[in-house]
Amino acid sequence: MIDLALLIELPAPLKVVAGFLIIMTIYSSFLGFTYWISKDE
Amino acid sequence: MPIGNLDVPIIGKNVTIAVLVQSHILFAAFIIGAVLIAATSEYLGMVTKQPRYERFARNLARFVVLLFASGAALAITFVLALVTLFPVFFSYLQNIFFWVFLVEAFMFLGQIIIVYAWYNVWDKLAYRKSLHVVFGFIAGFMGLMAMTMIDAVASYMLTPAEAPVGDVARTFLNQTNVPLNMHRFVGNFSYAGFLIAGWGAWRYLRSTRDDDREYYDWMGHFGVIWGFGFLILQPVIGYGYLKGIRESAPDAFNTIMLGDQAWLFNLLALWLTIMSIAATAYFVHKLRFASKPMPMVRKLTVGALGFTALFTVLNVIPANASFIPQIGLAVAGGEDTKIPLGAMYPWKYIGLIGMMLVGFFVVALYLKAAAGGFEWGRASRWSQFALMTCAVTVVITMVTMGYTRESARRVDNDPGYLIYNCITLDQQVVTKNCLAEGLEGGAPE
C-alpha cells in the first residue's frame, strides 16, 4: 500500500507550493489555537 | 539489519523536513525575540513607571509560555522525521556535533524552566522587580544560546570547515557560523517586532474602548520600532553572511545571487521593499500626532519615504529577462536580455546601502519625535493596515530566506548536498571536493 502511495508524487515546483501552504496552515492554526486558549473572556 | 530508505508520498521527504523546520523556526524565532522584547519592556516599565510597558510585557510573556509547546512539539517532530527519513546523515551529524547538540539540549531545557518561572513568579517578585527582569533576560539568553548551537550545524551544512570532523572548535566556528548567528540574532527582534506591531494594529481596529485604543496604538508603535529598527541592520549583516558563502562555497553563492535561483533574492528584496515602505509610511502618519508638533521632522520623513521607495525598488529589478528558470518564466530572449539597473554591481549595492542609510535617518527622526510622546488612540485605519502588511510580509520573508539558504546546497542538483560537497541528498558520502577531513572512516589521529 505504501509503495503504491509513493507513486503519487507532485512535480518539484508544486512540491514547493504545497510545502508553503502546509507551513502556513500549521503556523496559523497553532497561533490561532494559542490565542484562543489565552483569551480571558 | 539494513537501514530502510523511507520516503513520504506526494510531497517527498525533503519537503517534509522543510515543512517541519520552517514551521518550528517561525515559532522559535518569535519566542526568542518576544522574550527579549518583553523583558526589555518590563525593564522600561520599571524605570519609566509607565504601566503600559508592564501590561505589554506580562501579556507577551503569557503568550510565549502558551506558545512554547507548539514550537517545542514541532522541534521534536522534526528530529524524529530526520532520524527516520535521513538516518545515515543524522548519524554523521550527531557524531560531528555531539557536544553542540548536548549543549543545545541543556540550553533548551534551561530556557523552558526559566521562561515558566519568569511568568509564574511575576506577582511574587513584584517588589524585587530587578531580579524578575533578570529572569526574563536569562530566558532570552538561553534561547539565543540554543539558537547559536543549531546555527553551528546549519552553517556547517553549507560551509563545512576545512578541518578534521573531530575538531570541535573548528567545526563549530566554521566560516559562516558567526555571520549567520548575527543575522538570526537581529532577525529575531525584527520578526517578533513586526508581528507584535501587526497584532497591535489588529487589536486597535477591533477595540471600542478609548483606553484599549490608546494601548494598542502604542503597541503597534512599539512593535514597529523593534521591527524596522532591526530590519535596517540586516543588509550589512546579510552582506557579511553572503561574503562568507561566496568565499567558502562560491558555486552556492553564484546559484542564489547570480544564477538560477537569483529570483529568490529578488523576491526577498520585494518583501524588504514592502516592509520598508509600509513602516516608513506609518512613521510619516504617526508624526502628525506628535505631542509637540514637528513639521520639519515630518517633512524630512516624507522625503525619506521617497528615497526609501527609490532605493528599495532598485533591489527588486531582475538582472535579466529569465525571471524564474525552474518554471520557464522568461520574456524577450530570457537570459540574454539584460535589464537596465538590474545588475548586482553597482545597482543592488547602491540600493542596499541607500536603504540602510535612509532607514537609520528615518528611525532617528521617529525616535526623536517619540521622546516627546504621541497622542495615542488617533491613528488612522490605513496606518494599521500598513503594520499588518509588515507582519504578514515578515513571515513570508522568513520562509523565503529559509528556502534560499537550504536550497543553495543543490547548485545544479547534480547532485544536491546535505553537507555541501560532502554528503549527497541520497546520503552518500563523497570525498572528492569535501573540505571536511575524516568524514569517511572516522576521525583522523
Q: How confident is the model at residue B179, as a pLDDT?
A: 95
Q: How confident is the model at residue B287, as a pLDDT?
A: 94
Supply B397's cell numbers.
520573508
Supply B305's cell numbers.
519615504
- Residue in chain B nearest A33 by alpha carbon: B67
Select the residue of B70, B327, B399 nearest A23 (Cβ to Cβ).
B399
Tens-place pLDDT, residues B377-399: 999 999 999 999 999 999 999 99
Band (B28; pLDDT cuts 50, 70, 90): very high
3-state secondary structure of A9: strand
Q: Choose from B5, B7, B10, B58 for mutation: most chain A CBs within 10 A.
A: B10
> Does A6 sit within 8 Å of B66, measured CB to CB?
no
Q: How confident is the model at residue B444, as a pLDDT?
A: 47
> Does B395 sit within 8 Å of A27, measured CB to CB?
yes
Supply the mean pLDDT for chain B: 91
> Does A23 sit within 8 Å of B19, measured CB to CB?
yes
- The percent of residues above 90 in pLDDT, for chain B, comes to 73
Select the residue of A18, A35, A38 nearest B11 (Cβ to Cβ).
A18
The per-residue b/e assignment along B257-296, b for 16 or more CB within 10 angstroms, e otherwise, is beebbbbbbbbbbbbbbbbbbbbbbbbbbbbbbbeeebee
Select the residue of B9, B327, B403 nearest A13 (Cβ to Cβ).
B327
| E strand or H helix that includes residue B323 | strand B322-324
Band (B225; pLDDT cuts 50, 70, 90): very high
The answer to whether ipTM exceeds 0.95 is: no
Band (B361; pLDDT cuts 50, 70, 90): very high
Whether pLDDT at B445 is above 70:
no
Cβ atoms B173, B161 nearer than 8 A: yes
Band (B23; pLDDT cuts 50, 70, 90): very high
Q: How confident is the model at residue A39, as a pLDDT?
A: 81
What is the average pLDDT across B186-195? 97
Tens-place pLDDT, residues B404-428: 988 888 877 778 899 999 999 989 8
| E strand or H helix that includes residue B83 | helix B51-85
Which stretches of chain A sit within 8 Å of chain B by CB? 2, 5-6, 8-10, 12-13, 15-16, 18-20, 22-23, 26-27, 30-31, 33-35, 37-38
CA–CA gap between residue B132 and residue B57 (Å, rounded): 12
Whether pLDDT at B175 is above 90:
yes
Q: How confident is the model at residue A1, as a pLDDT?
A: 63
Q: How confident is the model at residue B431, as a pLDDT?
A: 83
Q: How confident is the model at residue B441, as a pLDDT?
A: 62
Q: How confident is the model at residue B333, as a pLDDT?
A: 75
Q: Choose from B14, B22, B206 for mutation: most chain A CBs within 10 A.
A: B22
- Residue in chain A nearest B9 by alpha carbon: A6
3-state secondary structure of A8: coil
Whether pLDDT at B137 is above 70:
yes
> Does B26 sit within 8 Å of A27, measured CB to CB?
yes
- The percent of residues above 90 in pLDDT, for chain A, comes to 49
Q: How confident is the model at residue A2, as a pLDDT?
A: 64
CA–CA gap between residue B394 and residue B373 (Å, rounded): 27
> Does A16 sit within 8 Å of B19, measured CB to CB?
no
Band (B340; pLDDT cuts 50, 70, 90): confident
What is the average pLDDT across B176-181? 95
What is the average pLDDT across B34-58? 96
Supply B265's cell numbers.
533574492
Q: Are strands B423-424 and B322-324 parallel, antiparallel or unpaired?
A: unpaired
Residue A2: list chain B partners with CB under 8 A: 9
Select the residue of A5, A23, A26 nearest B9 (Cβ to Cβ).
A5
CA–CA gap between residue B325 and residue B207 (Å, rounded): 47
Supply B174's cell numbers.
566554521
Is the Cα dihedral B428, B426, B421, B158 positive or negative? Answer: negative
> Does A6 sit within 8 Å of B7, measured CB to CB?
yes
The cell 534560499 sits on which residue? B404
Among B260, B263, B241, B269, smallest CA distance to B158 is for B241
Which stretches of chain B sit within 8 Å of chain A by CB? 7, 9-12, 14-15, 18-19, 22-23, 26-27, 62-63, 66-67, 70, 74, 326-327, 395, 399, 403
Residue B66: list chain A partners with CB under 8 A: 34, 37-38
Inter-axis angle of helices B349-371 and B210-231, to 10 degrees? 140
CA–CA gap between residue B13 and residue B8 (Å, rounded): 5
Band (B260; pLDDT cuts 50, 70, 90): confident
Band (B150; pLDDT cuts 50, 70, 90): very high
